[in-house]
A and B are shown apart, each in its own frame.
Chain A
Amino acid sequence: MPKTSKVEDKTNKSDKHPERQVLEIRDLHTQFSTHDGVVKAVDGVSFDVIEGKTVGIVGESGCGKSVLARSVLQLIEHPGQIVGGKVLYRDYAEGEEAASQNDILALPSGGSEIRSIRGGHISMIFQEPMSSFSPVHTIGNQMVEALRLHKPISKVEANEQAVDWLHRVGMPNPSERIRAYPHELSGGQLQRAMIALALSTNPSVLIADEPTTGLDVTTQAQILELLGSLQEEQGMAMMFITHDLGVIAEIADDVLVMYLGRVVEEASVTQLFQSPQHPYTKALFTSMPGTGEIEDNRLPTIKGSVPEPHSRPAGCFFHPRCDSFMSGTCDIAEPELLAVNGQQKASCFLYSEGE
């Protein structure tokens, strides 16, 4: 539960240099044409991914968080289509001055440039680690292949680096395990192998799409710990997609809350947990067991369910479920994402009235 008392902020990391944006996502639109109509899965989302920091993207199923993550790497397949926006990537590897901005979305799909970015500069890990591995090749072969695709090194060197990475992610017996096939590893080990595969090319951004969902709490804690410490060593930026506010509390620096394709709130993790502003965010917090006072053993709930994405309500998409609904405003006009409290932004008419 968000508390108002000031508490020691453990989330500040020591800043070596001023914040540098690795990715700038601007007005991204991704939509799907379905039989029921056009689904605007990502509908005008903008945010920055900062070097060495983690931006958490949280929302319920259907809010567009995974489509957002995949859009960044042009990984959208038919019938989906990225219809607008920019994903500006800046590579600081060659020094601050040399850093030029590339629009990833402008790169020809399937071309060599986008392929060198995918898995090289920007890596992605998934909820289901089997989707990152081929079942018919050993873990080692797949890591060596990925390494040699992005780095000019020999097979022997690549093999050494792969063993080293398996060791770093805490794989027991890495020089043995490198010869294992994916099915021979447990879920937690496969998750570790996937992280090793994704990070072995030293990417500047790691996109993690629900990487701990479905794991036991103990394994989840181990994986979050691992990702946090690897981030400190590598200085990579992370984009962390999850439905779990507890995971956000553990790992994020900044948070976007999404609902039906749009960002409804944007805040630092401390602000978000201390004083959530958007009614949807507030409701998400109170419906989590163990976060607030409970009357008669009943959890506070959000009424109704998430509407069908192809028929989003008029006005604010959340208004039919909102306890602060103002008739004549919320059901007519669409709220904008505006600053409400310093850096914190929310798209709600409760806050635009007074200004």
Chain B
Amino acid sequence: MDLADLMEVENGDHSINQKHVQITFFSKDEEIPQIPDAVFDVPTGAECDDMNLLLNKTIEANDGAWKERRFEFLVGETFLRTSLAEFIEEYEVETETILKVECVIGIEAPKPLHDIQAPDWVSSVQIANGHIFSTTYGGDIVIVDRKGKETKLAVNSANRLLKCISIVKAPSKKNQLDGTEFVVGGENQLLTLYAIEKGALVEKLILRGHERAVECVSVNSDSTRAISGSVDTNLKIWNLDASDEATTYEKEEEEESAKKRRKKETKTKVPMVTIGGHRDKVSAVEWCPWNSGHAFSCSWDHTIVEWDLELAGEISRIKGPKSFTSIDLHPKSDLLISSCTDAIPRLYDPKNRDGSMVKQSFIGHQNGWVEAVKWNPLDTNQFVSVSTDKTAKMWDVRSSKSSLFDIHGHDDRILCATWNEGLIATGSADCTIKIFETA
């Protein structure tokens, strides 16, 4: 109350003409100490910085050990980004009653780290063990480390038109590349398991069985199984164990010693299970975080399906309004974020079927498609979405009407994104991979 008096004294000449609104602060975060239940009379011209100053001084008055920090303010379901006057006018907030403002510890904006030039359109990106792995539509595999240095690998056989990548195994030593294994899939209906051995890319396994282009691939956490989706509407589960003979495709041994030696190193595998339940192209697959025998897939037939891979059957099906382009499941909160062929990412709860299907719709992208969505594995509230309107947006699930940050930089449609180890990587049709660092 003293601070309110001080503010009135400071604005002595202007307070007569300016509008005022009564607000109160509260928080659900445990890091923030108890905020007093005081009601503040604030002019509507106040912005985030002014409210930050007010809140910091209020907490400091009660708790002497408090250090000044930056807050984000949630009003209703929207982050406060402008002045109170503009916010009230834009969202038609009722000013007769006391405005309740939720305080959240401020998140730092992602900092652009690197801009990597790729030889062609970037089709997918992954981050593992301090390195960024990406594929292009020209069949290239680009591997960049955290410092932006690109690793040139000798490729034995270049696949044509790659579409997806998934990390199978990463070495235990930090920032080491030898021993890494990943699987890629593309237009040639094949999935290939590569390993990096002594600075060279070695083709280990060829997974054959899809009828059309492979659209998506995912490897489970213990690196024994992979699941892939294709344009032919099928899902196939692969056994990545090289020593398993049941799924190995044998050919007649040829007499030529050179081919014989190479054939011994490269094996061809057939799928363990083929699941056909979708009616259109499968656009994304994800392993279930809480059940190792389940997986999720989404398709252009407007559905997200949960599968039981041991029974090769369907558990549940979510129907959406549009064709789905991407899904992601958070390993901790078990929430599912999805993107469609429109501008709105949607939040689903696959475990809870009560109430409406869509828990939250995040409105902010312009026209076009949202191509990919990705959770922040370190925070249950944040995800990133990329769109054909050349922007990437960082969202907080508590605010569905405005994003946390807008990430600009690409000149063309952004096709893929990933968020891991505190890094966001986006790949675009302008042949660049942009890497941003988050707190």
Partners in one complex: no
Chain B residues in contact with chain A, CB under 8 A? none
Chain A residues in contact with chain B, CB under 8 A? none
